[in-house]
Chain A
Amino acid sequence: MAIIKFNVKFDWKLLVLALIICAMSLIVLYSAGFDFEEKQSFSMTAQCLNIIVGLIAFFCCAILSPEFWRRWSYLIYGFGCVLLVLVFGIGVVGGGARRWLDFGFIQLQPSEIMKIGLILTMARFFSAENSPRDGYNLFTLLKPAMVIGIPAAMILVQPDLGTAGILCLVGGSMLLVAGVKLRTIITIVLLAGVLLIPAWGGLEEYQKNRVRNFLSPELDPMGTGYHAIQSKIAVGSGQLLGKGYLKGTQTQLRFLPEQTTDFIFSVLAEEWGFVGAAALIAMYVLLILRLCMLANRASDGYGMFICVGTACYVFWHAFINMGMVIGILPVVGITLPLVSYGGTSVVSILAVLGFAAGAGVRRGIFS
């Protein structure tokens, strides 16, 4: 069998949904990065480029056959692990953590590649012939748990609590779809309760502070709680219809931290109100529904798990990001998929969507 096989078809509806979210991103970014002196928005222009690169990645991933990607899954996972190790040695420090690799022409966040690698690997793993049909038990669970745990641990010590959490959530969700025995789940929950208490001691001081501030942000209004308060003011003051495009005072007066990246949702909520925020959530719901439909349609277990993993990726990213912006989750550095400014984030999510778009239409064409 030829390894490289081209898909002639992919799910274009998924692409349309993604592009609508991208368009919303550009509109919000124009405002968030707007410079009243220059009368332009650098962030939006740069994001256009990110999206174009992301679309190329999308088509690459969609057009190559799932069989091709299945074979390379473990290698991509391994490559991601190697990059994570490299980060310790030659990583670039940004914001107090060592998360980036600098290749001169491009700066890369290996944890994003790791997310892709994890989805591909878990999909191959769960769709393998020898996977337990009646659900994983504590013993068979060990292997997938390690596949998730090793990169998650490496990311945690960078330190990047948010991304490590995302990895566990995406992997864990896929695992649950693959099936875990009920008594195993109960055992794990109990075990986790026992282990969490010593784990608190291993957190960095700023991570502890974030958790503490999440519980009561008013304690330290100028410190770490500042983000949460200002973001809540921005979202709340948007009310039903928003303050109007380019008229959000929190946004334009730069009260918001990282308003083009992690806190982009508060810009949307301030300027477009509840209506705008709900519209974006609706778009995510449609995207996730479409991914689940593709999962059901997929020709094989691998394709199905790719779609499920992608849906988990989109969902957890979106949920955690919006949750932290509106103050129901602690502030962790998690981007809003397809909306936050940032090359690595946009390209990797479009690539993952590409896998799903390719994997979801294979039924009955070649097999």
Chain B
Amino acid sequence: MARLGEIESHYQLRIYGALVVAALLFALLLGRLWYLQIIKGEYFEDQSRNNRIRTIKLTGPRGGIYDREGRHLVQNRAQFSIALMLEDVVDLNSTLMMLAVVTGRPLEQIKSELSASKKKKKRFFELQIVIPDASSDEVAKVKANGYRLPGVVVDVSPTRIYPNGALASQVLGYTREISAKQLESKLEYGYKQGDVLGQTGIEYSYEQELRGRNGEMKVEVDAHGNKKKELAVEPGVPGKDLYLTLDIDIQRASEEALRDKSGAVVALDVKTGEVLAIASAPTYDANIFSGNVLANDWQRLTADPLRPLTNRALAGTYPPGSTFKLIVAVAALAENTKILPEKGDWCPGYFMLGRRYNCHKKEGHGLVDMQRAIEQSCNVFFYKLGLNLGIETIYKYGSMLGLGSVTGIGLQNEESGIMPNGEWKRKRFSKPQLQTWEKWDTLSVSIGQGFLNVTPIQLANAMATLVNGGVMRRPYLVSHVDDPDHRTRLNLKSTFEKKLPIPQVALDKVKAYAETVVMAERGTGKKARVSGVSVGGKTGTAQYASLDKEKKKDDHAWFISFAPVHDPMIALAVLVEHGGKGGVAAAPISQQVMQVYFRKKGMLIEDPKTVSVEGPVVDDEEAIDFEQEMDRVEDYALPDEREKRE
């Protein structure tokens, strides 16, 4: 191994030399530190105390929502709040006190808002909001006393306003400040604390279109926090505007017709699938969510047993009752006319299958053909028809028309309901003795009861499909999105279209039968008549089966309709929870909505004399024997309940 030998001293010399160089350079560092910290220390101390650069959030406002005629459904308004820039506040206590005096607000309230705000904000130099909902009067007072309130800032941010109050509130949804949990799950979308997020309805489903992007501005400020110079501006980008297919007039008519009831109305444009109205009652005023949500408002909404936040048109499932007879009729006409008792059948008022199944008219309808069976809603006729067809055929047409599956309208919480068949029952029940499909199950489904469960929007769409030559469309709510910045328009109209394999003859016949329900003298839907326009429809009274017999309530009233009969433009589904008979409780709502629609179209004849809707309605419509039906429900529901508990 090489020893250093005689040249060792050379290396040593160079190492010493290097040390001297290093020492000189370190001395240079120390000299510079001395200059910065000792000589100019006070200057930098001053600079750091008023570090003059602030970052100000620039809010990109959320997009507006409009109806089909460009009228505002949701817009933004300026929300003033009074905030503190803590770093500029000289004496916090006296400033808060002064603020309380100037605005006339209790000091305690301001203090609690401040501590709540402090808990939320993580970054420094962010405003601490102390009065979140300042009135313009308070803003003026604060501005006038600005010199006495150092560090107090008036902040303006856009907030949602619903100019029509409760109109379509479940469809539009609401927004709230993003929660910590949502912040985590939406991380990749770049949300920040304090951002607003759509929580339900359109606001939720079209969040990415509607949301504005926040920008920021770096500004130089003086010692009092006043802006002196803008250093860098990254402007906020406003959200896009949404144009809905809803018509405010029809929506309002629907909601007014449902006033003081609970239920739903869906109005569809038959030719396009556009949703003209989705009403769900009871409703709520969405404006309570703009600005600060009061705790008791929220409590009241969520605790209400009538669940005003739920959109019953999409999320409520109910047996369709006799409205389903139209679908059974189409199935029979399409499948095989020979299974039809063409010449008519005798209704004695009951049907025997192991036991007695009653028609709602105790003495019987006598001789009925399909037209009369639909017009007067005879159960016995449809019991027989259903048995002849078998459940799988009924299932085929029911599911083909969209029952038991979501329509895909694009709103959250849409329910699929149940279109039962043999396979469904096998999967649904675990006990073998409950898994086989029984004939009496078919009986119930034939008249729209039993396991069958649908949503109002499904029925409305099925109605539209039946009268539209069997062309099925997907109901849609958003027609297009406008980008105000780029002046572009994105068309979101649904082009989904499916021709169902149903012969035109069958559809024409059902349409004609449905017309008699409204137009014939003995029709159950007479109260849905609209002067000047021929209307077709079908009433339904859905068994409300509660296991708790103490809480026995009225049945659900249904009415589905379309008009004009010869060239249908609009299809409706009306549901009134516990409304009683469909022809009495639901048909008039259809009438009110259609009147508004056809008045706008100029097709309504405004002569009260010709409106013969006040005539007597056949009273004996489809009230099945309740007790008997209850037994049937218990057969299934109780063992199943037990299974769940196990």
**Interface code A278-294, partner B: CB below 8 Å = 1, 0 otherwise?**
10010011001100100
Verify if B23 is at the interface (C-beta below 8 Å from A): yes
The answer to whether A249 and B51 touch across the interface, beta carbons within 8 angstroms, is yes
The answer to whether A232 and B49 touch across the interface, beta carbons within 8 angstroms, is no
Verify if A185 is at the interface (C-beta below 8 Å from B): no
Q: How far is the CB of B296 from chain A (nearest CB, A)?
A: 30
B25 to A, closest residue via Cβ = A319
Verify if B133 is at the interface (C-beta below 8 Å from A): no
Interface size class of A (residues with CB under 8 A): 35 or more
Verify if A177 is at the interface (C-beta below 8 Å from B): yes
Q: Kindly state the separation between the CA atoms of A90 and B43 in the bound complex, as whole angstroms.
A: 48
The answer to whether B48 and A233 touch across the interface, beta carbons within 8 angstroms, is yes
Residues of A within 8 A of B4 (CB): 300-301, 304
The answer to whether B22 and A288 touch across the interface, beta carbons within 8 angstroms, is yes
A70 to B, closest residue via Cβ = B1
The answer to whether A274 and B37 touch across the interface, beta carbons within 8 angstroms, is yes
- Pick the contact of B11 from A249, A250, A304 — CB < 8 Å? A304
- Pick the contact of A326 from B11, B33, B48, B125 — CB < 8 Å? B33
Verify if B642 is at the interface (C-beta below 8 Å from A): no
- Pick the contact of A236 from B15, B22, B41, B231 — CB < 8 Å? B41
The answer to whether B11 and A240 touch across the interface, beta carbons within 8 angstroms, is no
Known interface pairs A177-B14, A177-B15; A239-B26 also in contact (CB < 8 Å): no
The answer to whether B22 and A315 touch across the interface, beta carbons within 8 angstroms, is yes
Residues of A within 8 A of B44 (CB): 232-233, 235-237
Residues of B within 8 A of A179 (CB): 10-11, 14
The answer to whether A326 and B18 touch across the interface, beta carbons within 8 angstroms, is no
- Pick the contact of A319 from B10, B14, B29, B45 — CB < 8 Å? B29
Residues of B within 8 A of A74 (CB): none
Verify if B619 is at the interface (C-beta below 8 Å from A): no
- Pick the contact of B2 from A300, A322, A326 — CB < 8 Å? A300
A37 to B, closest residue via Cβ = B122
Residues of B within 8 A of A337 (CB): none
Residues of A within 8 A of B53 (CB): 221-222, 255
Q: Which of A188-234 contact B (CB under 8 A)?
A: 221-222, 230, 232-234
- Pick the contact of B48 from A177, A234, A301, A323 — CB < 8 Å? A234
Q: How far is the CB of B53 from chain A (nearest CB, A)?
A: 8
The answer to whether B37 and A240 touch across the interface, beta carbons within 8 angstroms, is yes
The answer to whether B51 and A277 touch across the interface, beta carbons within 8 angstroms, is no
Residues of B within 8 A of A240 (CB): 37-38, 41
Verify if A158 is at the interface (C-beta below 8 Å from B): no
Residues of B within 8 A of A274 (CB): 33-34, 37-38
Residues of A within 8 A of B599 (CB): none
Verify if B42 is at the interface (C-beta below 8 Å from A): yes
Q: Kindly state the separation between the CA atoms of A341 and B3 in the bound complex, as whole angstroms.
A: 40
Residues of B within 8 A of A222 (CB): 53, 218, 231-232
The answer to whether A249 and B14 touch across the interface, beta carbons within 8 angstroms, is no
Verify if A9 is at the interface (C-beta below 8 Å from B): no
The answer to whether B124 and A301 touch across the interface, beta carbons within 8 angstroms, is no
The answer to whether B30 and A281 touch across the interface, beta carbons within 8 angstroms, is yes
Verify if A354 is at the interface (C-beta below 8 Å from B): no
- Pick the contact of B41 from A129, A238, A300, A326 — CB < 8 Å? A238
Known interface pairs A232-B36, A254-B123; A284-B18 also in contact (CB < 8 Å): no
The answer to whether A236 and B47 touch across the interface, beta carbons within 8 angstroms, is yes
Residues of A within 8 A of B3 (CB): 300
Q: Which of B25-83 contact A (CB under 8 A)?
A: 25-26, 28-30, 32-34, 36-38, 40-45, 47-49, 51, 53
Verify if B19 is at the interface (C-beta below 8 Å from A): yes
The answer to whether A281 and B48 touch across the interface, beta carbons within 8 angstroms, is no
A289 to B, closest residue via Cβ = B19
The answer to whether B37 and A277 touch across the interface, beta carbons within 8 angstroms, is yes
Q: How far is the CB of A101 from chain B (nearest CB, A)?
A: 25
Verify if A32 is at the interface (C-beta below 8 Å from B): no
The answer to whether A326 and B40 touch across the interface, beta carbons within 8 angstroms, is no
Verify if A295 is at the interface (C-beta below 8 Å from B): yes
Residues of A within 8 A of B42 (CB): 239
Q: Kindly state the separation between the CA atoms of A288 and B48 in the bound complex, as whole angstroms.
A: 34
Verify if A273 is at the interface (C-beta below 8 Å from B): yes
Verify if B7 is at the interface (C-beta below 8 Å from A): yes
Residues of A within 8 A of B41 (CB): 236-240
Known interface pairs A232-B44, A273-B37, A300-B3; A176-B26 also in contact (CB < 8 Å): no
The answer to whether A281 and B26 touch across the interface, beta carbons within 8 angstroms, is yes
Please indicate which of the listed interface residues B12, B18, B122 has the most CB atoms of chain A within 10 Å of its own CB.
Answer: B18
Q: Kindly state the separation between the CA atoms of A239 and B44 in the bound complex, as whole angstroms.
A: 9
Verify if A183 is at the interface (C-beta below 8 Å from B): no
Q: Which of A301-325 contact B (CB under 8 A)?
A: 301, 304, 308, 311-312, 315, 319, 322-323
Verify if A344 is at the interface (C-beta below 8 Å from B): no
The answer to whether B30 and A233 touch across the interface, beta carbons within 8 angstroms, is no
Known interface pairs A176-B14, A236-B47, A301-B4; A328-B32 also in contact (CB < 8 Å): yes
Q: Kindly state the separation between the CA atoms of A327 and B51 in the bound complex, as whole angstroms.
A: 18
Q: How far is the CB of B416 from chain A (nearest CB, A)?
A: 43
**Interface code A146-178, partner B: CB below 8 Å = 1, 0 otherwise?**
000000000000000000000000000100110
Residues of B within 8 A of A277 (CB): 33, 37
The answer to whether B2 and A281 touch across the interface, beta carbons within 8 angstroms, is no
The answer to whether B11 and A176 touch across the interface, beta carbons within 8 angstroms, is no
Residues of A within 8 A of B29 (CB): 281, 319, 322-323, 326, 328
The answer to whether B37 and A239 touch across the interface, beta carbons within 8 angstroms, is yes
- Pick the contact of A238 from B37, B43, B49 — CB < 8 Å? B37
Verify if A133 is at the interface (C-beta below 8 Å from B): yes
Q: Which of B82-101 contact A (CB under 8 A)?
A: 87
B36 to A, closest residue via Cβ = A236
Residues of A within 8 A of B87 (CB): 253
Verify if A349 is at the interface (C-beta below 8 Å from B): no
**Interface code B103-128, partner A: CB below 8 Å = 1, 0 otherwise?**
00000000000000000001111000
Known interface pairs A179-B10, A236-B40; A269-B51 also in contact (CB < 8 Å): no
Q: Kindly state the separation between the CA atoms of A216 and B32 in the bound complex, as whole angstroms.
A: 17
Verify if A184 is at the interface (C-beta below 8 Å from B): no
Verify if A41 is at the interface (C-beta below 8 Å from B): no
Verify if A296 is at the interface (C-beta below 8 Å from B): yes
Q: How far is the CB of A73 from chain B (nearest CB, A)?
A: 15
- Pick the contact of A233 from B2, B28, B34, B51 — CB < 8 Å? B51
Residues of A within 8 A of B43 (CB): 236
The answer to whether A177 and B18 touch across the interface, beta carbons within 8 angstroms, is yes
Known interface pairs A37-B122, A254-B123, A319-B25; A239-B38 also in contact (CB < 8 Å): yes
19 further interface pairs, Cβ-Cβ under 8 Å (given A237-B41, A304-B4): A176-B14, A177-B14, A221-B231, A222-B231, A230-B51, A233-B51, A235-B36, A236-B36, A239-B37, A240-B37, A240-B38, A249-B48, A249-B49, A277-B37, A285-B23, A295-B11, A300-B2, A315-B25, A319-B25
A-B residue pairs in contact (CB < 8 Å), sample of 8: A176-B18, A234-B48, A236-B40, A254-B123, A255-B53, A270-B48, A311-B18, A322-B29
Residues of A within 8 A of B (CB): 37, 127, 129, 133, 173, 176-177, 179, 221-222, 230, 232-240, 249-250, 252-255, 269-270, 273-274, 277-278, 281, 284-285, 288-289, 292, 295-296, 299-301, 304, 308, 311-312, 315, 319, 322-323, 326-328, 367
**Which 10 A-B residue pairs are closest in the complex by CB-CB distance?**
A236-B44, A239-B41, A237-B48, A236-B36, A237-B44, A274-B37, A253-B124, A237-B45, A222-B232, A222-B231
